[in-house]
Amino acid sequence: MKLFPRLLLAHLLAVLVALGALLLVAELTLPGVYQHHVDQMVRAMGEPGRALRPDLEAGMRGALTGALLLALPFAALAAALSALLTSRRVVRSVALLGQGSRDLAGGAYARRLPEGGRDELTDLARNFNRLAAALERVEQDRVALIGEVGHELRTPLAALRGYSEALSDGVLPPAQVAPAVAREVRVLERLAQDLSLVSRAEAGHVDLRLEALAVQGLLDAARERFADVHAARGVTLRVGGSGAWVQADPERAGQVLANLLHNAARHTPPGGTVTLEAAPAGGAVALTVRDTGGGIAPAHLERIFERFYRVDEARTRAETGGVGSGVGLTVARALARRMDGDLRAESGAGGSTFTFTLPGAPVGGARPDTVD
């Protein structure tokens, strides 16, 4: 049997049971109600009243029973109409949900249900719409990712094809082609590695070995690794000091700082300065990388952590030698959040500031903790 007739019959059965119970209760309780009034009438009438007592009782009982019987059809009609409307609304909501689920299964992620009302059915429709919106965003991201990966692969593959054709035609000697081919292969390797890392980090599948780290150790390692890189570009690298400790994975924390310092060096003109500092931030420690470059426009600032997003694609490719994957900041933020920290960006006319926060740790160290 369909849901609608089953719901309607269940409501009608409940109505009939309620009406039967009402009649039964009335028949059992009303005599006690009108008996008191009959006694008063008999006392007021004296001896004639006692003779009329049976007629008075029968009359009052009949009047009350008749009134109940007259009201029952109207009550039953109103209850049946209410049951009909309620059943139709429930069935309609279930039907809409079923159709919406089929549409979602078929790929129609833009499907939405009406949300009128304030009951549980409305909550169900609202939750369905949230699910549909989340699936729609996932599908949009999937389509965008496929397009972006295809776009990123197109350039190195086209270059490899050109070099292979030049080598086959004898236009270029192998000694000249080999370094160029190796460079394009590094582009593909970097893209594959970064895509794998960002997907695992965003899904929470990156293995971390969390331990208490002296922030000064991270700062010193960054200075040692990047001082020459910045000097080669004519940029001054200034690194502050700190006595704070953080709870983090040393390799992944160093990877985040490396990405930020590489970006700062690329976007700071010769004669500029890149500053790496650390300061307490509540129960956390904030590591900031500040440059004196041209800054990032507000329209781009909200999107620089998106996969493959570049403020100036041609300039970025030229500055990185073609080995940038376009997901460096995405990887950095995903790793920061995986370590219970965060990565934010601010920018103005005087340059950009990236703030990498990590949870604080007791001074002196704590037991390492492996996170899967």
Q: Which of 28-32, 196-200, 329-333 has the highest mean pLDDT?
A: 329-333
**Average pLDDT of the residues in 267-281:** 93
**b/e per residue 80-115 (b: at least 16 CB within 10 A):** eeebeeebeeebebeebeeebeeebeeeebebebee
Residue pair 66/84 in contact (Cβ under 8 Å)? The answer is: no
For residues 157, 161, 163, 166, the Cα torsion angle rounded to the nearest 10 degrees is -170
Residue 300 lies in a domain: yes
Residue pair 183/322 in contact (Cβ under 8 Å)? The answer is: yes
- Asked if residue 333 and residue 244 are part of one domain, the reply reads yes
116 — alpha (psi -120 to 50), left (phi > 0) or beta? beta
Residue pair 163/322 in contact (Cβ under 8 Å)? The answer is: no
Q: Which of 55-69, 92-106, 223-237 has the highest mean pLDDT?
A: 223-237
**Average pLDDT of the residues in 327-341:** 88
Residue 268 DSSP label: S
Residue 344 lies in a domain: yes
CATH number assigned to the domain comprising residue 193: 1.10.287.130
Residue 343 DSSP label: E
- Asked if residue 234 and residue 302 are part of one domain, the reply reads yes
Residue pair 80/12 in contact (Cβ under 8 Å)? The answer is: yes
- Asked if residue 51 and residue 33 are part of one domain, the reply reads yes
Residue 125 lies in a domain: no
CA-to-CA distance for 267 and 125, rounded, in angstroms? 48
Tokens of 333: 């933020």
CA-to-CA distance for 126 and 303, rounded, in angstroms? 29
Does 341 or 61 have the greater pLDDT score? Answer: 341
**Average pLDDT of the residues in 138-144:** 78
Residues 299-321: tens digit of each pLDDT: 788 778 877 666 654 444 444 44
Residue 49 lies in a domain: yes
Does 314 or 175 have the greater pLDDT score? Answer: 175
Residue 86 has pLDDT above 60, yes or no: yes
Per-residue pLDDT, 4: 61
CATH number assigned to the domain comprising residue 361: 3.30.565.10
Does 164 or 36 have the greater pLDDT score? Answer: 164
Number of Cβ within 10 Å of residue 176's Cβ equals: 12
- Asked if residue 360 and residue 232 are part of one domain, the reply reads yes
Per-residue pLDDT, 314: 43
In this prediction, residue 66 has a pLDDT band, given cuts at 50, 70 and 90, of: confident
Residue pair 363/245 in contact (Cβ under 8 Å)? The answer is: yes
Residue 123 lies in a domain: no
Q: What angle do CA 101, 107, 108 make, to 5 degrees?
A: 70
In this prediction, residue 270 has a pLDDT band, given cuts at 50, 70 and 90, of: very high
Per-residue pLDDT, 292: 93
CA-to-CA distance for 125 and 172, rounded, in angstroms? 65
Calculate the average pLDDT of the chain: 80
Region of poorest pLDDT, from 41-50, 273-282, 300-309: 41-50
Tokens of 281: 């931030």
- Asked if residue 219 and residue 175 are part of one domain, the reply reads no
Tokens of 305: 């952590």
Selection from 148, 249, 158 nearest residue 207 by Cα: 249
- Asked if residue 161 and residue 43 are part of one domain, the reply reads no
Region of poorest pLDDT, from 34-38, 194-198, 248-252, 313-317: 313-317
Measured over all CA atoms, what is the biggest interatomic distance in the chain, rounded to whole angstroms? 139
- Asked if residue 324 and residue 348 are part of one domain, the reply reads yes
Does 350 or 64 have the greater pLDDT score? Answer: 350
Q: Which of 167, 200, 233 is the last residue of a domain?
A: 200
- Asked if residue 177 and residue 52 are part of one domain, the reply reads no
Tokens of 92: 């309609």
- Asked if residue 248 and residue 225 are part of one domain, the reply reads yes
Contacts of 305 (CB under 8 A, 6+ apart): 329, 330, 333, 343, 345
CA-to-CA distance for 218 and 208, rounded, in angstroms? 17
Residue 358 lies in a domain: yes
Tokens of 147: 């397009």
CA-to-CA distance for 138 and 109, rounded, in angstroms? 10
Question: How many domains, the chain?
Answer: 3
Per-residue pLDDT, 87: 74
- Asked if residue 224 and residue 320 are part of one domain, the reply reads yes
Full DSSP string of 91-130 = HHHHHHHHHHHHHHHTT-TT------SSSHHHHHHHHHHH
Element (H, E) at 289: strand 284-291
Residue 120 lies in a domain: no
Element (H, E) at 291: strand 284-291
Residue 251 lies in a domain: yes
In this prediction, residue 275 has a pLDDT band, given cuts at 50, 70 and 90, of: very high
Q: Which of 173, 200, 227 is the last residue of a domain?
A: 200
Per-residue pLDDT, 6: 67
Per-residue pLDDT, 155: 80
Residues of the domain holding 288: 207-371
Q: Which of 200, 229, 256 is the last residue of a domain?
A: 200
- Asked if residue 261 and residue 139 are part of one domain, the reply reads no
Residue 365 has pLDDT above 90, yes or no: no
